[in-house]
């Protein structure tokens, strides 16, 4: 077969598209097929378009560069660079990053349905997703994967990235060689990939009396449906008031948020949100006035990792005096993105507008200083904002305009401090290691862990063994950290492995300070 004779335009098209992107000519722009072949860089002349100079650079490189060029790689890097200089939330996605993003937003993906870690040179199944090809094939939490097709993945010094690349190259049918967790029996099986659902509303239950609780982990394509399924069940069980938990929620589909808001606001034609940008007209979202259920009081839980769509939910309900907001100041992202597909495997997520709440306030914090923006959470930790209320924000004499400030995320009506232990460098720097080791410890002490967790006891009896497994000396040298606190954090990770999602969220409500604070607020809103 003869090699394809690409024109210069076809070869350089991705790079040229990258160069003209920020100039407002994204996709569909017609460029000259031939670029000038010059002996020297052209002198500067006034250009009709601001990106003409860059296009001349492309032509010069094409005609004079003395070595081969990886145009695809160059175009990817140029696009990344251009988009990264627009704002903090415009970005370029390609390859597996793009596919993973689409899967996350669609609420499902094609695979077998497992999470794994390399623990002591062995690939262990941390989680088997319910109703997935893996579960239907009999895979269990704790099983060791010895080989994937012809590739050994245990006992050969693989790291997490190496293992991922092996999974990535698998076809529709996968052959696995396993060592089962239950009987240490070696077995082989074939699994055919299929749809794996990723619920975005993992928990819904009555937490006290007639108060319900719903956890939303992100806003994906099926979030509204999942939310309504839980809501209907809770109403049937006698729920009157509702706690909605969007802590650690990175946002997602605005459409799903608007649908949920319409179930929480009974007035018709009530402004819920509007978007507006330099090149986009104002778009208003108003309530339908047709909620399916009569919900009483509402509380929304937020924290510093509640982002975008989750901030819209909390902020809109706060502006309309429809909910009490409990927790800590949210992230502060109020930018609207649209996804522009470049190729079947790449796209640009481009900011086109800003969100504005019913009162007209913006959620978006300033990003003029990008370094400060990127390090904002570190600043909040260092300044102590997460651990005690800032008197300039939470003042009993402060007017509503201070509580409902614009451009700093959503400030809760009731502040609940974070546990400083989990934000300490000592814990954060080792958390991934602790997570894997806690799983290994749980799998080797399952009966004992079940007894401890169900009885509410501590890990004191295993203190010596646990501290011997990990290098805790560095942790103990950190101010205000005790052996008891470390064991508490370690047990928290074991509970995650023991219960799994969604049961972890259901089982932890009694020990969750934000949830308990919200319950008190709903029971006695005057105080």
Q: What percent of the chain has pLDDT over 90?
A: 58
- pLDDT of amino acid 470: 75
Same domain? 298 vs 407: yes
* 145 within a domain of the structure (yes/no): yes
- pLDDT of amino acid 391: 66
- pLDDT of amino acid 44: 47
Same domain? 163 vs 210: no
Same domain? 153 vs 190: yes
**488 versus 31: which is more confidently predicted?**
488
Same domain? 245 vs 357: yes
Tens digits of per-residue pLDDT, 131-168?
Answer: 999 999 999 999 999 999 999 999 998 888 888 889 98
CA distances from 234 to 110, 240, 299, 525 (A): 31, 9, 16, 22
* 519 within a domain of the structure (yes/no): no
CA 515 to chain CA centroid, nearest Å: 21
Tens digits of per-residue pLDDT, 192-224?
Answer: 999 998 899 999 999 999 999 999 999 999 999
Rounded Cα distance, 508 and 506, in Å: 6
- pLDDT value at 38 more than 60: no
* 80 within a domain of the structure (yes/no): yes
108-111 vs 211-215, strand pairing mode: unpaired
- pLDDT value at 24 more than 50: no
- Rounded to an integer, the average pLDDT of 494-498 is 96
Same domain? 176 vs 217: no
**69 versus 175: which is more confidently predicted?**
175
**222 versus 472: which is more confidently predicted?**
222
- pLDDT value at 419 more than 60: yes
Q: Phi and psi of 100, rounded to 5°?
A: -65, -40
From 217-221, 396-400, 412-416, 462-466, the region with the lowest mean pLDDT: 396-400
- The Cβ of residue 490 has, within 10 Å, a number of other Cβ atoms equal to 23
From 323-327, 381-385, 387-391, the region with the lowest mean pLDDT: 387-391
Which residues, 6+ apart, have CB-to-CB distance to 348 below 8 Å? 21, 26, 79, 83, 90, 91, 92, 93, 339, 340, 342
Q: What's the total number of domains in the chain?
A: 4
Quick one: pLDDT band at residue 392, thresholds 50, 70, 90?
low
**276 versus 392: which is more confidently predicted?**
276
* 354 within a domain of the structure (yes/no): yes
- pLDDT of amino acid 371: 92
- pLDDT of amino acid 426: 76
- pLDDT of amino acid 394: 62
Same domain? 77 vs 114: no
- pLDDT value at 3 more than 50: no
- pLDDT of amino acid 104: 65
Same domain? 75 vs 128: no
* 1 within a domain of the structure (yes/no): no
Which residues, 6+ apart, have CB-to-CB distance to 199 below 8 Å? 107, 217, 226, 502
Tens digits of per-residue pLDDT, 343-354?
Answer: 777 888 888 899
Same domain? 466 vs 358: no
- pLDDT value at 42 more than 50: no
Quick one: pLDDT band at residue 395, thresholds 50, 70, 90?
low
Tell me the three state secondary structure of residue 294: coil
Q: E-assigned strands of 2-107?
A: 91-94
Rounded Cα distance, 6 and 71, in Å: 13
Same domain? 249 vs 226: yes
Angle at which helices 52-64 and 8-21 cross, to 10°: 150
- Rounded to an integer, the average pLDDT of 491-500 is 95
Query: Domain containing 113 — which CATH number?
Result: 2.30.42.10
Q: In which domain, by residue range, is 54 found?
A: 8-85
* 526 within a domain of the structure (yes/no): no
- pLDDT of amino acid 402: 39
Regarding pTM above 0.85, the answer is no
* 96 within a domain of the structure (yes/no): no
- pLDDT of amino acid 317: 98
Q: Phi and psi of 507, rounded to 5°?
A: -80, -20
- pLDDT of amino acid 389: 85
Determine what percent of the chain falls in helix, strand and coil, rounding each to the nearest 5: 40, 20, 40
Alpha-carbon torsion, ordered 302, 303, 308, 311, to 10 deg: 30
- pLDDT of amino acid 471: 65
Q: Of the candidates 158, 180, 197, which is a domain's last residue?
A: 197
**301 versus 402: which is more confidently predicted?**
301
Q: Is the peptide bond before 252 cis (omega within 30 degrees of 0)?
A: no
Q: Report the chain's mean pLDDT, rounded to a whole number.
A: 84
Same domain? 227 vs 369: yes
R_g (Cα) of the chain, nearest Å: 27
Tens digits of per-residue pLDDT, 435-463?
Answer: 999 999 999 999 999 999 999 999 999 99
- pLDDT of amino acid 348: 86
* 90 within a domain of the structure (yes/no): no
Tens digits of per-residue pLDDT, 101-112?
Answer: 776 667 778 899
- pLDDT value at 99 more than 80: no
Q: What percent of the chain has pLDDT over 70?
A: 84
- Rounded to an integer, the average pLDDT of 63-70 is 78
Same domain? 243 vs 356: yes
Alpha-carbon torsion, ordered 239, 242, 247, 253, to 10 deg: 90
- pLDDT of amino acid 414: 95
Tens digits of per-residue pLDDT, 110-126?
Answer: 899 999 999 989 999 99
Same domain? 330 vs 249: yes
């Amino acid at each position: 077969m003869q090699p394809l004779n690409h024109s210069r335009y076809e070869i350089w098209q991705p790079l040229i598209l990258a160069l003209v992107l920020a100039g407002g000519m994204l996709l569909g722009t017609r460029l000259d097929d031939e670029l000038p072949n010059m002996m020297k860089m052209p002198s500067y002349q006034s250009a009709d378009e601001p990106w003409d100079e860059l296009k001349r650079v492309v032509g010069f490189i094409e005609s004079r560069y003395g070595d081969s060029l990886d145009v695809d790689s160059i175009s990817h890097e140029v696009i990344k660079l251009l988009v990264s200089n627009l704002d903090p939330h415009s970005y370029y996605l390609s390859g597996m990053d793009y596919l993973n993003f689409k899967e996350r937003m669609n609420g499902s993906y094609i695979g077998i349905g497992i999470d794994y870690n390399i623990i002591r040179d062995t690939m262990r199944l941390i989680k088997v997703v319910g109703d997935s090809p893996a579960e239907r094939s009999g895979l269990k939490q704790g099983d060791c994967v010895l080989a994937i097709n012809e590739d050994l993945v245990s006992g050969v010094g693989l790291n997490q990235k190496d293992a991922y690349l092996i999974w990535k190259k698998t076809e529709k049918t996968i052959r696995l060689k396993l060592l089962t967790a239950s009987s240490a029996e070696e077995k082989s099986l074939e699994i055919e990939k299929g749809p794996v659902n990723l619920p975005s509303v993992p928990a819904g239950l009555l937490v006290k009396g007639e108060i319900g609780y719903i956890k939303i982990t992100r806003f994906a394509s099926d979030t509204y449906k999942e939310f309504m399924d839980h809501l209907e069940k809770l109403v049937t069980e006698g729920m009157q008031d509702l706690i909605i938990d969007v802590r650690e929620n990175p946002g997602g589909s605005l459409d799903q948020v608007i649908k949920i808001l319409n179930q929480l606001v009974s007035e018709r034609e009530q402004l819920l949100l509007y978007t507006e940008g330099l090149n986009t007209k104002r778009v208003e979202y108003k309530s339908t006035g047709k909620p399916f259920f009569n919900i009483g009081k509402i509380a929304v839980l937020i924290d510093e990792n509640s982002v975008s769509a989750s901030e819209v939910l909390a902020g809109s309900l706060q502006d309309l005096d429809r909910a009490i907001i409990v927790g800590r100041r949210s992230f502060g992202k109020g930018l609207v993105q649209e996804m522009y597909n470049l190729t079947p495997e790449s796209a640009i997520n481009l900011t086109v507008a800003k969100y504005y709440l019913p009162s007209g306030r913006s959620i978006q914090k300033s990003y003029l200083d990008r370094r400060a923006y990127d390090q904002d959470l570190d600043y909040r930790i260092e300044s102590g904002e997460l651990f005690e209320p800032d008197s300039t924000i939470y003042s009993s004499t402060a007017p509503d305009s201070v509580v409902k400030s614009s451009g700093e995320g959503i400030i809760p009506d009731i502040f609940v401090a974070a546990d400083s232990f989990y934000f300490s460098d000592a814990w954060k720097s080792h958390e991934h290691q602790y997570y894997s080791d806690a799983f290994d410890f749980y799998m080797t002490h399952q009966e004992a862990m079940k007894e401890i967790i169900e009885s509410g006891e501590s890990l004191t009896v295993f203190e010596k063994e646990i501290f011997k497994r990990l290098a805790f000396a560095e942790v103990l040298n950190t101010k205000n950290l005790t052996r008891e606190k470390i064991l508490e954090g370690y047990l928290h990770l074991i509970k995650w492995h023991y219960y799994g999602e969604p049961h972890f969220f259901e089982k932890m409500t009694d020990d969750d300070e934000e949830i308990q604070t919200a319950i008190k607020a709903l029971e006695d809103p005057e105080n």
